[in-house]
Amino acid sequence: MHGQWFDDALSYNVIAEMKGNELPDEIIVMGAHLDSWDVAAGAHDDGAGCMHALGALKLLVDQGIKPKRTIRAVMFINEENGTRGGEEYADQAVQKKEKHIVAIESDAGGFTPRGFGVTASEPQRLKLESWLSLFPKNTVDYMSKGGGGTDIGPLHRADGTPMMGLNVDGQKMFDLHHSANDVFEAVHPRELELGTASMATLVYLLSEYGL
């Protein structure tokens, strides 16, 4: 009841990238949003998603993996009240004629991963489904039809890039969502690590085998 509206200020997406060593012009983008609701730290919404993306890149670097395709992590700005970070990313991708083979978003919290929602052709979804045995038990066990995210939606609409969303065990999300409860102490480190590892596994497979 005491919200205020301030003037716009210049803000930026934050981008980290591992260049592909065989097909560098084919891009896999994964991301989350950098801004948060103003009443708490935004640890689950969407700090956890940012750590999924950045942590996945770090896991690949630590393993000495040199991806075939370019893997890009994007922290999008302004998801909560305008999605201008996602819109600008899509606009830039179109202007630069970038080729994204898939876009992935984590914006459901840092809880235990359960699967991915997929907005793509059925053959593409079935290819993803064929990799399920490579994920540890009690983590990712489905690639369901329909999924994506607010920040990657503009890219999907602009050029048809297939998109995916990380689905988690979100039973507690609305105890926290946009509330003062969304603090760092509410994130379980092991559950966050499982989501990060799931994202790293997925982007590695996509880099190696495409979609």
pLDDT in tens, the chain (211 residues): 677 788 989 999 999 999 999 999 999 999 999 999 888 899 999 999 999 999 999 999 999 999 999 999 999 999 998 999 999 999 999 999 999 999 999 999 999 999 999 999 999 999 999 999 999 888 999 999 999 999 999 999 999 999 999 999 999 998 999 999 999 999 999 999 999 999 999 999 999 999 9
Other C-beta atoms within 10 Å of 23: how many? 15
Q: Which of 106, 126, 118 is nearest to 33 (CA)?
A: 106
* Domain parsing of the chain, residue ranges: 14-209
- Across-strand partners of 103? 29, 163
| Domain 14-209 bears CATH identifier 3.40.630.10 | yes
Which residues touch 6 (CB under 8 Å, ≥6 apart)? none
Query: Which pTM does this prediction carry?
Result: 0.95
Q: What is the DSSP string of 6-72?
A: PPP-----EEEEE--SSEEEEEEEEEEES---TTS--IIIIIHHHHHHHHHHHHHHHTT---SEEEE
